[in-house]
């Protein structure tokens, strides 16, 4: 079994004699058995060359590993990066087949023909921009055949980080706030003040809106104020205290202060309406930190999620995405991105995976 | 001493009778003593109103706290945000005076007239964009009078984060690499391969360049390869293995792969030339992680710095800056930004401060 098998480079693949099937495919699942031959992908061929199990010839000349790498990288885009990921997963004991998103990977202990594959692996170089729509398309493709999408991001030093990506729903256990008469509040530049202590307590202590300025007064953020105004819980005037602002006027002012205000508010509304507590995520570099439930008598402890609102045409840069996920994980939170699709807000969870 | 003092709103300040100097200025350093009166800033007046020590009148009408806040926010930009920071620092026991960058703050235990002030505080709302040039100008202004610049960033929920900012030098203890004859290396798409094990060992084990692909071969990142090429340590060909690429050709190709390549290389070169070990910072969402010294026999342990290269016309968004500093601090590293100024690379360290 340890003698070296010969293969022939042919376009984007390498062909071996049908007799090699037993050694390469039946036990180790390399290649694809065809009627009269076994076909290896260039990546499989490079890996088997590195393992000294195959030697590839081109025009009757033997190619060493270096020759084959150079040849392959001219024939297939992203070759080296895919090779690095393939090698890593093989050496971790996974069986791997080519697939719509680069690779299909079988679960630990599973194998082709016996078990269904578990992951769709999408290989990316750190420098590739990743449009949100493409990523979501791949997550949906994987989910439609019950696979998990895994992004394998190769950094410039060829270290690999695996990210699991999945769509999810967001749901909490808080009761909605309500009042008999609207609470008076004032817009001061880019925040809103509630002046009396009874209303401040109701909003802050019972429903976890805003932050106390002092013992009496409460400060609301613009999204909080807009949400409470929509629900007729507060009435907002400007600093001259004349006519209350309409929701449209308030939203327009807020959008001047903060360009992304409409999508931020839409995400905030969806999360609050789903019974979650939503506070600013500024300290974590994201729009929101989100709690499933907060016991008002105990106060806010550990939030489960960081949520960042995106435009639906957003394009991720992978270093930026890496930073967001890394930071969320380092504080034991899940990183969730949110955007508008039709009338709905869609939530995408991204987390580092240990393969 | 506990009776309420009367003051008169006059433009951007509040005037009190000269007799109030003893109570307000001599013991607590509120206001600025003038010939015939004591002058409070609007912020001082609002704080003293909140403390029930002063009542401000306008056209003989008493203003309550709400009236004064609304009036002041119409008279002075960013008023509410500055008030929040002033109140926070006062309540932490600091003496504060107005200053070129919003406030001058005295060291703990120090006071005006006795001790020089220690910090220049610059108050920012989370939403304000911060041009790099402005920030550096303020750091230099503060440094020229031996003060530390502190940015007080108020998030949308009125939480304050303090960041210390200072220019610094970067210096390490590694010896430069050298070889007798240039090592042969090949550019494959967006990384460079060294094929023989002796050269791989020299570069990787002794000088901590690159990452092994396997037992024999070494992968170099584009910046590493460009740097080693400049020093005549490697010679780079493309995958056809013909004429070596000139430094200009290699740099042009790299810039196609990665737009920010020239400034990244300039920062990399400066750090390596200063004797530091520089590796990718991808996992931390930044360009580089940087070590002062690495014992080659032990391997890489804990890097001290994260360094991110910026264009000199960069404009920080504060949530983005927050994320970078937070992430660096959570892994016990210092966050350093770097950019080109004339022929030099300038380094700016930013870190969270406990006031």
Q: Which domain holds residue A195?
A: 175-259
Contact B285 A324 (CB under 8 A): yes
Minimum-distance CB partner of A156 among B65, B81, B282: B282
Contact A159 B282 (CB under 8 A): yes
Tokens for A189? 């530049």
Task: Supply angle C-alpha A202, A207, A211, rounded to 5.
Answer: 80
pLDDT value for B2: 58
The residues in A 119-148 lying below 8 A from B, measured between CB atoms, are: 125-127
The residues in B 159-188 lying below 8 A from A, measured between CB atoms, are: 159, 161, 186, 188
B159 phi-psi bin (left φ>0, alpha ψ -120 to 50, beta other): beta
Sheet holding B277-280, edge to edge: B96-99, B102-105, B119-125, B148-154, B160-168, B344-353, B334-341, B305-309, B288-291, B277-280
Is B315 in contact with B129 (CB distance < 8 Å)? yes
Concatenated DSSP letters of B57-111: EETTEEE-HHHHHHHHHHHSTTHHHHHHHHHHHHHTT--EEEETTEEEEPPTT--
* Residue of higher predicted confidence among A39 and B301: A39
DSSP A214: S
* Residues of chain A neighbouring B283 (CB-CB closer than 8 A): 155, 159, 161, 322, 326
User: Hey, what long-range contacts does A85-90 have (CB within 8 A, 24 or more apart)?
Assistant: A85/A121, A85/A123, A85/A152, A85/A154, A85/A160, A86/A43, A86/A44, A86/A47, A87/A47, A87/A50, A87/B214, A88/A160, A88/A355, A89/A121, A89/A355, A90/A47
Mean pLDDT of B292-320: 90
List CB contacts of B315: < 8 A, sequence separation 6 or more. B129, B130, B131, B132
Rounded CA separation B152/B87 (Å): 12
A219 CB within 8 Å of a chain B CB: yes
**The domain boundary residue, chosen from A75, A96, A131:** A75
Q: Does residue B282 form part of some domain?
A: no
Minimum-distance CB partner of B50 among A70, A156, A214: A214
**The domain boundary residue, chosen from A21, A41, A75:** A75
A302 catalytic per annotation: yes
Tokens for B19? 């007799």
Interface test with A, best of B154, B157, B330 (most A CBs within 10 A): B157
Tell me: the pLDDT tens digits for A60-108?
999 999 999 999 999 999 999 999 999 999 999 999 999 888 999 999 9
Interface test with B, best of A156, A184, A277, A329 (most B CBs within 10 A): A156
Is the pLDDT confidence value at A259 over 90? Answer: no
A37 catalytic per annotation: no
Pairing type for strands B54-58 and B96-99 reads: unpaired
B70 CB within 8 Å of a chain A CB: yes
Mean pLDDT of B323-346: 94
The residues in B 317-336 lying below 8 A from A, measured between CB atoms, are: 318-320, 322-324, 326-327, 330-331
Is the pLDDT confidence value at A301 over 90? Answer: no
Is the pLDDT confidence value at A325 over 70? Answer: yes
List CB contacts of A335: < 8 A, sequence separation 6 or more. A286, A305, A306, A308, A324, A325, A328, A329, A349, A350, A351
Q: Does residue B118 form part of some domain?
A: no
Mean pLDDT of A145-158: 94
pLDDT value for A1: 47
- Structurally, chain A folds into a number of domains equal to 2
What rounded mean pLDDT belongs to chain B? 94
Is A327 in contact with A333 (CB distance < 8 Å)? no
Q: Does residue A232 form part of some domain?
A: yes
Q: Does residue A216 form part of some domain?
A: yes
Contact B190 A127 (CB under 8 A): yes
Is the pLDDT confidence value at A343 over 60? Answer: yes
Task: Supply angle C-alpha B340, B343, B349, rounded to 5.
Answer: 40
List CB contacts of A332: < 8 A, sequence separation 6 or more. A302
CA-to-CA separations, A26 to A44, A117, A234, B348, B349, in angstroms, rounded: 15, 17, 70, 59, 58
Q: Does residue A134 form part of some domain?
A: no
Rounded CA separation A43/B117 (Å): 65
User: Hey, what long-range contacts does B195-199 have (CB within 8 A, 24 or more apart)?
Assistant: B195/A66
Is the pLDDT confidence value at A38 over 70? Answer: yes
The dihedral sign for the CA sequence B198, B200, B205, B206? positive
* Residue of higher predicted confidence among B45 and B282: B45
Sheet holding B61-63, edge to edge: B32-33, B37-41, B13-17, B5-10, B54-58, B61-63
Tell me how crowded residue B342 is: count the other CB atoms within 10 A of its CB: 7
Is the pLDDT confidence value at B1 over 50? Answer: no
pLDDT band at A2 (very low <50, low <70, confident <90, very high): low
* Residues of chain A neighbouring B323 (CB-CB closer than 8 A): 284-286, 323-324, 327
Burial class (CB in 10 A: 0-12, 13-18, 19+), A180: exposed
Contact A239 B282 (CB under 8 A): no
Is B259 in contact with B278 (CB distance < 8 Å)? no
Mean pLDDT of A273-287: 93
Q: Does residue A225 form part of some domain?
A: yes
Tell me: the pLDDT tens digits for B148-197?
999 999 998 889 999 999 999 999 999 998 888 999 999 998 899 999 99
Nearest to A327 by CA among B121, B179, B333, B30: B333
CATH code where residue B49 lies: 3.40.1170.20
Q: Does residue B4 form part of some domain?
A: yes
**The domain boundary residue, chosen from A19, A52, A75:** A75
A to B CB pairs, distance under 8 Å? 173
The residues in A 257-276 lying below 8 A from B, measured between CB atoms, are: 257-258
Instruction: Determine which one of A61, A114, A302, A354 is catalytic.
Output: A302
Tell me: the pLDDT tens digits for A202-217?
999 989 999 999 999 9
Rounded CA separation A232/A312 (Å): 29
* Residues of chain A neighbouring B210 (CB-CB closer than 8 A): 157
Minimum-distance CB partner of B319 among A84, A189, A285: A285
Is the pLDDT confidence value at A189 over 90? Answer: no
Mean pLDDT of B275-292: 93
Tokens for B171? 């210096």
pLDDT value for A273: 97
Q: How far is CA A17 from the centre of its chain?
A: 43
DSSP A175: P
CA-to-CA separations, A236 to A72, A245, A248, in angstroms, rounded: 65, 6, 12
B37 catalytic per annotation: no
Contact B283 A159 (CB under 8 A): yes
DSSP A282: G
Mean pLDDT of A333-343: 96
Mean pLDDT of B257-269: 94
Mean pLDDT of B111-132: 94
Percent of chain B, pLDDT > 70?
A: 99
The dihedral sign for the CA sequence B42, B44, B45, B50? positive
Q: Does residue A132 form part of some domain?
A: no
């Amino acid at each position: 079994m340890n003698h070296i098998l010969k293969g022939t480079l042919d376009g984007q693949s390498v062909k071996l004699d049908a007799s090699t099937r037993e050694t390469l495919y039946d036990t180790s699942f390399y290649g694809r058995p065809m009627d009269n031959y076994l076909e290896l992908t260039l990546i499989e061929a490079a890996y088997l060359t590195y393992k000294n199990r195959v030697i590839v010839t081109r025009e009757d000349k033997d190619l060493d590993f270096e020759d084959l790498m150079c040849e392959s990288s001219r024939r297939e885009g992203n070759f080296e990066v895919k090779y690095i990921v393939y090698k890593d997963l093989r050496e971790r004991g996974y069986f791997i087949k080519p697939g719509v998103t680069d690779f299909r990977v079988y679960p630990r202990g599973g194998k082709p023909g016996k078990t269904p594959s578990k992951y769709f692996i999408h290989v990316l170089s750190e420098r590739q921009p990743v449009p949100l729509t493409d990523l979501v398309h791949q997550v949906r493709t994987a989910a439609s055949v019950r696979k998990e999408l895994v992004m394998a991001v190769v950094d410039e030093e060829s270290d690999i980080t695996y990210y699991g990506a999945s769509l999810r729903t967001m749901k909490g256990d808080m009761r909605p706030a309500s009042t008999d008469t609207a609470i008076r509040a004032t817009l001061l530049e880019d925040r809103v003040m509630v002046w009396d202590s009874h209303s401040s307590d109701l909003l802050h202590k019972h429903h976890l809106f805003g932050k106390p300025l002092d013992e009496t007064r409460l400060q609301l953020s613009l999204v909080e104020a807009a949400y409470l105004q929509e629900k007729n819980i507060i009435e907002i005037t400007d600093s001259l205290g004349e006519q209350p602002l309409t929701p449209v006027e308030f939203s327009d002012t807020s959008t001047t202060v903060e360009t992304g205000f409409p999508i931020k508010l839409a995400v905030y509304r969806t999360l609050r309406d789903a019974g979650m507590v939503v506070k600013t995520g500024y300290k974590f570099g994201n729009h929101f930190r989100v709690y499933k439930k907060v016991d008002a008598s105990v106060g806010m402890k550990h939030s489960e999620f960081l949520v960042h609102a995106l435009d639906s045409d957003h394009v991720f840069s992978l270093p930026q995405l890496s930073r967001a996920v890394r930071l969320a994980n380092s504080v034991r939170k899940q990183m969730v991105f949110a955007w508008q699709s039709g009338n709905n807000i869609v939530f995408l969870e991204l987390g580092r995976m240990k393969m």
